[in-house]
Structure 1
C-alpha cells in the first residue's frame, strides 16, 4: 500500500464510477497501470465492493434510532440466534457487537416514531434472549466519513 494506492482508494470512495483513464489522471498514472492497481486492491481485499449511497430520507426512512440491546446470556448460541434474527429485519441498517454494558448497538431506519414503536414492540422485543433495550434518537449527524485511509 503506497501513496498512489491511497489516492486511488480516496478517489474511488467519492466516485466509484470514475473511468480508469480519469482515475489515472487524478493519481498520476496512465489508464493501464491504474487499472492493474485497482484489480490488485480488489484482489487483496482493500476494495470489498462498489455501491450507491442512498438517501434514506428520500426513500421515506428519515427517522433513525440507535438501540442498545442487552441479551440474557452472552453465549455463542444466543449471539448467533440474535444476529440471524437481526439480518432478517430490514429496519436494522447497522448492527455492531459491542463491549461494555450492552451487547449490540443497532441503527434502525424507519419512517417515524410510530413505525419505530411498532418495530420495537412487534419485532425486536420478540427475539428470544433480548433482556433489555435502550433507545436514543439522534438530533443531527455531525460527521459522515468514508473509510479511513490515513
Structure 2
C-alpha cells in the first residue's frame, strides 16, 4: 500500500499516541472525523496498522537486563530452521528474533530480570535445542535509544 501524506501524518500521530480519539486525530490532521476514520480503517484492513499496544517500561516490571544472543545452527535445512523457529516463538523471554547474514544464523533479543535469569534461559531452554551449534551473548550495559515509532 502506497501511503499518501495524510496517511503518513496519521501514522506518525498514532505511533506517538494510539489512544487518540478519531475526533482529536482528525483535528490534528486537518480533516473531518469520518474521512479520517476511513483512512485509519483502510490502513488497519491493509495490515499497515497491525494492532494497538501499551508500551510497558521494562525496568518498572523487573526486566532490567537486555541481552542479545547470536545463534549458529548445526545445519541449514528448512526442517532445522522450522524447529528452531517454533521453539523460539514459544519462548516469552525472546522479544525479537531475526534470521541474519554473516557468521551467525539468528539474532535473539531478550529482556530478563538479571544475569542469573540469563543462565537459566541458556541452560534450561536455548542449549537444549538440538539444532543449535554455537551461541554468543552480549549484555547491554545501558540503553541509549529504544524507539518503537518507524521513521515515515
The TM-score with structure 1 as length reference comes to 0.95
Deviations 1:84-132 (A, max 9, x none): 0011211111111111111110011111011111111121100111000
Task: Give the superposition deviation at 1:141.
Answer: 2.1
Structure-1 separation of matches of 2:127 and 2:48: 37
Distance 2:4 2:64 in 1: 39
Instruction: In structure 2, list runs of 5 or more residues that go unmatched.
Output: none
2:118 is aligned to 116
Which residue in 2 is equivalent to 1:49? 51
1:78 aligned residue (77, 80, 84): 80
Aligned twin of 1:92: 94
Residues 31-73 of structure 1: per-residue CA shift (max 9 Å, x gap) = 1110011011111221111111111111111111100000001
Correspondence for 1:148: 151
Q: Of 3, 8, 14, which residue of structure 1 is paired with 2:16?
A: 14
Shift of 1:17: 0.9
SS of the residue aligned with 2:18? coil
SS in 1 for 2:101: coil
Matches of 2:77 and 2:59 in 1, distance apart? 37
Aligned-residue CA RMSD (Å): 1.0
The residue that corresponds to 1:63 in the other structure is: 65
Local SS of the residue matching 1:58: helix
Q: Secondary structure at the match of 1:121?
A: helix
Aligned residues: 149
User: 1:125 and 2:121 equivalent?
Assistant: no
Query: Is residue 125 of structure 2 the alignment partner of residue 139 of structure 1?
Result: no
**Structure 1 residue ranges without an equivalent (≥5):** none
Moved over 6 A (4+): none
